[in-house]
Structure 1
Amino acid sequence: MARILSLDVVLGACISSWFVATIAQTPVDIVAIVALALCVWLIYTADHLRDAYQLDHEAHTPRHRFHQQYFRIVLFAFIFISLVGVLLLFYLPPLVVQWGVELMGFVVVYFFVSQIAPIQKIIPKEVMIAFLYASGIFLPIAVQFPAIPAKLYILFGQYVILALINLIIFSWYEYDSDQLDFAHSLATQHGKLKAKRLIILCTALVLVSVFVSGVLFSTKLFLYAQCIIFLMTMLLIIIATYPKFFRSYERYRWFGDSVFILPILAFPFVS
């Protein structure tokens, strides 16, 4: 149930935001973390509700079937959580609100345009969601700097690519069910082979960035961060390499979504 409702994704975002704040040596605003949790859930749930609404037959994945069967209940929860999120705006720093509203506005425009134009062929939803997911994690930390450090930009880029790899792996595994449900994904639009090549390219980019940034920025905290990024990348590589094992019982989703919980392993070393 937690996975179907994307609660594990929410947990990963909150843990990752704490992790980034610790590496950046900035305080963590609990209200900002709660707002992040709500925003991540709203973005993922909006995508699931849209997919469920567009289906005119029974969905072929447990996630879509759930949102199809309990559409009204989830929609009510979506509206309620949205209202709670609006109330939280009054307790957040002005700059967080400004950047957050701009991000949410970008999301609304993207979802609206995707309904009337084939924008997903130009900007796949996996790219958009990966960028928004990482942006939500880094936003409460980035606004605290007059000038954002280069190390934070590197870490942000790594998170965007890791989130993208994660989503492409999901689209690769769910290619057949997405075809049956006429669902748009990077794999269905560009093919499984191109999706696999993109996974390889993205993992190579992250691994190269880990090595290069580890040499350029050798501070203790940042090296811990790069070790965690390396572990996250290796888990994604394993998921992509052994489809026979991870396809069973949708293990690819259990392990894939747990990737962003891995930063908790750094707690004994950075706390």
Structure 2
Amino acid sequence: MHFLFKFYQRLTWLSIDVVLGAMAGMLFFERALRVELNWQEYALLGMAVWCIYTADHLMDARKLAADRAADRHHFHLIYQKPLLAILGLVGCIGLYCAIKFFGFSKELFFGAGLGVLILGIMLVVRKLAAKQVRLKELSSAIFYVIGISWLPWYEAPEIDYTWTAFGLTILYMGLAYLNLIMLSSLDKESDTESGFSSIATIMPQEKLNPRIHQLAIGLMLAALIGLLLVNSLFRIFPSLVLFMLLVHYLSFFKSEASPEQIRMRMEVAFLIPAILLLL
């Protein structure tokens, strides 16, 4: 069991869990919007997500001395050069495959523009630091969901632009935001020691945790209401979001596990939409 934990821990440090969760999220929107995506589009999403997250971790690691870095940042600090080389290679392969698959089309330019915008916002957030730190988690959640859902939205016919689809997108953004502020709370000590700013480093824990609790309960109620109101054909989607929210709530508030174990459980929750492959 210890070996499996260490193995999965390395996968999380390499952001493989985030990549798989993003692909499961795109499957969620593919089925909700009743479109059919190619495996190449999932591969391109995975490469883009890995590049963005790895670039983010490497930028964080460069600011730190080895004795101040948390495990995740320490890993990227030690293996900075090989990770940079792999990042460049994956980025080039991804760009080549995107041009080959999409051609010089709207999809290519929109996807590339979105990637550049996300990287730009990451840099801006770093420059603003504590001044606008509350926007960090919110903007990350919004762009994460835009990133995994824009292709299904783009390929969906207008008839499927329903209130149900919009509601599911907003609900998924709420889930992503909840995940990020929970992670911020878990990482408060290491972020403070490393000099990073987050919502947890500027808001006292006695105020932040009740807000996290209120947000989690509110989102679960919204998912439950959606489950009761939507057409029976779409009930699987608010059900999946509700299940993901429950995993987050129970992991964060009802668990005696270590922060690293709680983080892993919450990241695994984003794999839950993969069950749609069986339906």
1:114-141 alpha-carbon deviations (Å, 9 max, x no partner): 3433476255322222222211221120
Aligned residue runs from structure 1 range 33-112, under 5 A: 33-90=42-99, 91-92=101-102, 94-112=105-123
Give the unaligned 5+ runs of structure 2.
1-9
C-alpha RMSD over aligned residues: 2.1
Tell me which amino acid in the other structure corresponds to 1:9. V
Does the C-alpha gap of structure 1 residues 115 and 211 become closer, same or farther in structure 2, counting only changes over 3 Å? closer
**Whole-Å Cα distance in 1 between the matches of residues 178 and 131 of structure 2?**
17
Does the C-alpha gap of structure 1 residues 117 and 170 become closer, same or farther in structure 2, counting only changes over 3 Å? closer
Q: 1:143 is paired with a residue of what secondary structure?
A: helix
Does the C-alpha gap of structure 1 residues 204 and 99 become closer, same or farther in structure 2, counting only changes over 3 Å? farther
How much has 1:150 moved relative to structure 2? Answer: 2.1
1:155 aligns with 2:168: yes
Alpha-carbon contact 2:33-2:153 (below 8 Å) kept: no
1:170 aligns with 2:174: no
Tell me which amino acid in the other structure corresponds to 1:251. Q
**Whole-Å Cα distance in 1 between the matches of residues 181 and 277 of structure 2?**
29
TM-score relative to the length of structure 1: 0.89
1:245 aligns with 2:257: yes
Tell me which amino acid in the other structure corresponds to 2:85. F
> In percent, how many aligned pairs have the same letter?
23
How much has 1:40 moved relative to structure 2? Answer: 1.2
Partner of 1:256: 266
**Whole-Å Cα distance in 1 between the matches of residues 121 and 254 of structure 2?**
34
**Whole-Å Cα distance in 2 between the matches of residues 157 and 78 of structure 1?**
31
**Whole-Å Cα distance in 1 between the matches of residues 89 and 131 of structure 2?**
28
Does the C-alpha gap of structure 1 residues 64 and 244 become closer, same or farther in structure 2, counting only changes over 3 Å? same
Q: 1:245 is paired with a residue of what secondary structure?
A: coil
Give the unaligned 5+ runs of structure 1.
none
**Whole-Å Cα distance in 1 between the matches of residues 51 and 204 of structure 2?**
28
Matching residue within 164, 176, 182 for 2:195: 182
Q: 1:55 is paired with a residue of what secondary structure?
A: coil
How much has 1:57 moved relative to structure 2? Answer: 4.3
How much has 1:149 moved relative to structure 2? Answer: 2.6
**Whole-Å Cα distance in 2 between the matches of residues 265 and 146 of structure 1?**
25
Tell me which amino acid in the other structure corresponds to 1:244. E
**Whole-Å Cα distance in 1 between the matches of residues 80 and 40 of structure 2?**
29
**Whole-Å Cα distance in 2 between the matches of residues 95 and 216 of structure 1?**
35
Number of aligned pairs? Answer: 266
Partner of 2:237: 225
Matching residue within 22, 47, 60 for 2:31: 22
Query: For structure 1, which segment, 171-180 or 57-66, has the greater mean C-alpha deviation from structure 2 after superposition?
Result: 57-66
**Whole-Å Cα distance in 2 between the matches of residues 22 and 36 of structure 1?**
17
**Whole-Å Cα distance in 2 between the matches of residues 54 and 110 of structure 1?**
18
How much has 1:154 moved relative to structure 2? Answer: 1.4
How much has 1:244 moved relative to structure 2? Answer: 3.0
Alpha-carbon contact 2:130-2:198 (below 8 Å) kept: no
Does the C-alpha gap of structure 1 residues 193 and 98 become closer, same or farther in structure 2, counting only changes over 3 Å? farther
